[in-house]
Structure 1
Amino acid sequence: MDNASVPGGALPVCNDSVDRYSPTPANSSDPSCTPPSDFYFYADLYVILPVIYSVICAVGLTGNTAVIYVILKAPKMKTVTNMFILNLAIADDLFTLVLPISIADHLLNYWPFGDILCKIILSIDHYNIFSSIYFLTVMSIDRYLVVWATVRSKRMPYRTYRAAKIVSFCVWVLAIIIVMPFTVFAGVYVSPDDGRKSCVLSFPSPESLWFKTSRIYTLVLGFAIPVSTICILYTMMLYKLRNMRLNSNAKALDKAKKKVTIMVFIVLAVCLFCWTPFHLSTIVALTTDLRTTPLVIGISYFITSLSYANSCLNPFLYAFLDDSFRKAFIKMLECIPA
């Protein structure tokens, strides 16, 4: 996450009045201003965070690449749901691919990669926020339509693999449009005190207003609207399933459809578990003026790591919850020459 949007993006200083709306805190160029009692806390963060990010990168890259490979290579895996899972894995893979650059930025404590790469990294960072929840929203809509058609004993001729490709393309276009403002404002900020370069969102004046607007923008489009949509869909879905059990003439969901619905629900629950603290921190940032203490910085880094971790968890969920994926993956491994 960019330093301007996540508390704790830079080391706190003795002066507690940190301007969280600017790319860097006041007096951050004075290393002697860090309280001695907090020195070991920051030293631990300096070592622990790259380790956590590296594990997320390695596991996420391996797992999501395996998901992409299996879905593309196994003929039986070419289903509507798996098309959305494929795009979700691509989004997660894209994020984990650039995570090493964020690790290098953290270790170096300055941005050496130039303005263009800064825009690319921050754009992909924000794609990760929007694309994951949007594909899960589409998957929830798809599950609702499947349940609705099953309850009504109707066929769904429009629900095809090709249609899923078109919908996935539209989701990517929507995500690109939504992320475009962040791409425009992303850039390299040079500290006037020590010349240190940072890759941040550089807003025009008044910075505080633009900062709050960007956080509300992300909260509404990246969380409130899609999560509300998902909650409504699953509430309606559960209502229909309950009525289906009461109606003896209605056909129950077959075993395969039920398993897929459960898998989508669990993947969604894990996504919300990882991302809800991040969006709650937005509400806190907008409604309070927290001092940049070691506790606040530690919590902010934990929240950021938790949101990053979502990019490596989904492959394990597919492996545990989807028999067809597990069988296809094992079959692929058997075909690989020793």
Structure 2
Amino acid sequence: MGNSSFWDDLNSSCSNAGNSCYLENSMRFNFTLQEQAADFYIVLPVIYSVICAVGLTGNTAVIYVVLKAPKMKTVTNMFILNLAIADDLFTLVLPMNIAEHLLRYWPFGEILCKVILSIDHYNIFSSIYFLTVMSIDRYLVVLATVRSKRMPHRTYRAARIVSLCIWMLVTIIVLPFIIFANVYTDDLEIKSCGLNFPKPERFWFKASRIYTLILGFAIPVSTICILYTMMLYKLRNMHLNSNARALDKAKKKVTIMVFIVLAVFLFCWTPFHLATIVALTTDLPQTSMVIGISYFITSLSYANSCLNPFLYAFLDDSFRKSFRKLLECRTS
């Protein structure tokens, strides 16, 4: 696992796989190519700082409200809580990514390198898996409503157990990235934090991208699409059946909120995964436009971590009321 040979081979991969060097993980970029895009180099820390400040404030507020407000302890809010925790962890370590961009080397050592890369990948996988669980929950709620049945096992405690299982599953999925995360020194003696694969490095690099694409996007998104297709079918039949009971207002609002949160997630992350496919299957020239697009795609995926709190505040009346009530209690 020589560092120089790894980067020699990775740079060769970048010439053959286009902007894959920017998507090697969702935080690391090739510094040689950064020199070709000085404007992006200056703008990126500003963008990341805004995402960090807004995301950290918003997600911390979500965590505080869900944990403190008694009326917020619902099954859906348990999954929202875990989404906010994943986003909060990511935005919490984003300043180190900003520092790496500004300093143009990794100054924090190997342990923090593993921590940062693991949190980065936790964010990729945990968000989509919790959204998948939320979609499954919405489907079961709709199904139970159509059949006019109760759901005695759908409890806050059960949601906590499911959430714990999701974190354990994501830990297993992320484990290979934690193992390969390492601080390496390139030919210019510049320290960087990234995935240091064994030989043949190019094969492992592509395998890691396919692994992320399948487990972090293709399987969960396909599952979600199937669930929502079935859900819409059930709702359509329920509308046509005069004996069926319509979803009550509260359940419909929650279903719409989950759908919008999912749609925003796909809007932010689909370009990232599509770019991975393009990078691994085509030979893109390393032009300023390609570099700029890859930076924009990565920034868009980061931005998802600060958007969800605004969606909850805009779509969920109980969240707004609980937040205002807690603020009044704190100031009184």
Q: Could you say whether these structures have the same fold, taking a TM-score greater than 0.5 normalized by the shorter chain as the test?
A: yes
| 1:127 equivalent among 110, 122, 125 | 122
1:337, CA displacement in angstroms? 2.1
1:107 equivalenced with 2:88 (yes/no): no
- How many angstroms apart in 2 are the aligned matches of 1:169 and 1:175? 10
**Equivalent in the alignment of 1:274:** 268
Q: 2:89 aligns with which of 88, 91, 94?
A: 94
| Residues 256/25 of structure 1: CA separation in 2 closer, same or farther (3 Å cut) | closer
Cα distance between partner residues in 2 of 1:239 and 1:126: 34
- What CA deviation, in whole Å up to 9, does each residue of 1:217-244 have, x standing for no partner? 0000000000000000000000000000
How far did residue 44 of structure 1 move? 1.8
1:297 match: secondary structure: helix
Partners in 1 of 2:263 and 2:331 — Cα distance?
Answer: 38
Q: Distance in 1 between matches of 2:264 and 2:15?
A: 36
Q: Residue 302 of structure 2 is aligned with which of 286, 301, 308?
A: 308
In the alignment, residue 45 of structure 2 is paired with which amino acid? P
What is the SS of the residue equivalent to 1:336?
helix
> What is the Cα deviation at residue 18 of structure 1?
9.2
CA displacement at 1:46 relative to structure 2: 2.0
Choose the corresponding residue for 1:67, options 45, 62, 67.
62
Q: Distance in 2 between matches of 1:158 and 1:87?
A: 20
Counterpart CA distance in 1 for 2:38 and 2:232 is: 49
Q: Cα deviation per residue 1:6-29 (whole Å; 9 max; x = unaligned)?
A: xxxx9x9xx978996799869x49
Alpha-carbon offset, residue 289 of structure 1:
1.8
Partner of 1:239: 233
| 2:207 alignment partner in structure 1 | 213
RMSD (CA atoms) = 2.2
Unpaired segments ≥5 residues, structure 2: 1-9
The answer to whether 1:48 aligns with 2:43 is yes
Q: Which amino acid aligns with 1:307?
A: S
Q: Equivalents in 1 of 2:16, 2:288: separation in Å?
A: 14
Mapped partners of 2:133, 2:232: distance in 1: 17
**Cα separation, partners in 2 of 1:16 and 1:204, compared to 1, 3 Å:** closer
Number of matched pairs: 315
Runs of 4+ in 1 over 2 A off after TM superposition: 15-26
Partner of 1:227: 221
User: Higher helix share goes to which structure?
Assistant: 2
Q: How is 1:69-218 mapped onto 2 (pairs within 5 angstroms)? A: 69-191=64-186, 193-218=187-212
Query: 2: distance between equivalents of 1:24 and 1:334?
Result: 45
**Does structure 1 retain, via aligned residues, the 8 Å contact 2:17–2:279?**
no
For 1:47 and 1:143, how far apart are their aligned partners in 2? 43
Separation of aligned partners in 2, 1:105 and 1:25: 12
Structure 1 vs Structure 2: percent identity of aligned residues?
A: 78
